[in-house]
Amino acid sequence: MFSPEDKLLITALQAEARPFIRRLELKKQQLEPGLELYTGAGFALIVTGIGKVPAAIKTSRVLQLAEPAGVECIANLGICGCGDTQTPLGRLHLVNKIEEAATGRAFFPDMLVRHQLREAALVTVDQPRACGPDNSTCLYDMEAAGIFQAAASFLSLDRLHFFKVVSDYLSGAILPREEIESLMDSAADDVLVFLQGLPTPDTKTLLAKDDWILLQDFRATLRLTQSQFHQLKDMVISFRLAGGRGLSQRLSCASKAFSGPTTKVERGTALENLKNALGT
């Protein structure tokens, strides 16, 4: 379903997705009841519906179905409100902080890539914010905090990107689909330039062929979840980048020592012991 270089795009609304579906020539496929995925060369896209809970659920569902090689990165794309009337409608921002209004928790994507986009903080609310202009440069949406928390269980934080286009000044008005699509269309090229310029994490080039096979065997033996497998890959890649030797033997020994764990605790123990063995 996914290939290692795939970038997963996530929108709440079909109107937000259309400019990307059209540009990337994505084709729809049904994964499960209620879960559709649009795919094309190097990209996949899901439409979650409005709200942080539906967004988190569909993000988790699609990532759980991903192949072991996983997804290169995730990009949440959508419109947002802004209290500052000096900020032009249609302006694109890359989010550097996400606050969940209901809990006060804050989440920070790792901003490791140089770029020319404007950055801004974002607040995820449970209901549309309709207080009118308040001179705040903060942005408001209803999905990002849910997507961040779901995706962070599968991918490292430097691979999570959130792009928001200002659509209103907290008026609470429901925008026509055509207007939403037009706003996203004006920002789509800049988003794609950013995403297509990201460095590709090629995990297989960091691992010998035999090591990669052992990695897959280790996953099967311990019955690792998708999230645990990403942890395992990160450990192994760190070990390789640090110049570690004897990876095949360490994986093989760890697999034999913890053969067949079936509980969450046993799998966690096996991963922790392997982490210690690799010195990561």
* Count of CB atoms situated within 10 Å of the CB of 69: 16
In sequence order, the β-bridge partners of residue 40 are 43
CA 26, 33, 152 angle in degrees (round to 5)?
70
Which band of pLDDT confidence, cut at 50, 70 and 90, is reported for residue 69? very low
pLDDT at 81 over 60: yes
pLDDT at 64 over 60: yes
pLDDT at 261: 55
Q: Which 3 state secondary structure label does DSSP give 10?
A: strand
Q: Are 10 and 25 in contact (CB under 8 A)?
A: no
pTM listed for this prediction: 0.74
* Domain annotation for the chain: domains and CATH numbers: 7-196 (3.40.50.1580), 203-278 (no CATH)
What DSSP string describes 121-185?
A: EEEE-SS---S---S---EEESSHHHHHHHHTTTS-GGGEEEEEEEEESS--PPPPHHHHHHHHH
Report the C-alpha gap between 92 and 100 in whole angstroms: 21
Residue (of 63, 3, 8, 62) closest to 35 by Cα position:
62
pLDDT at 95 over 70: yes
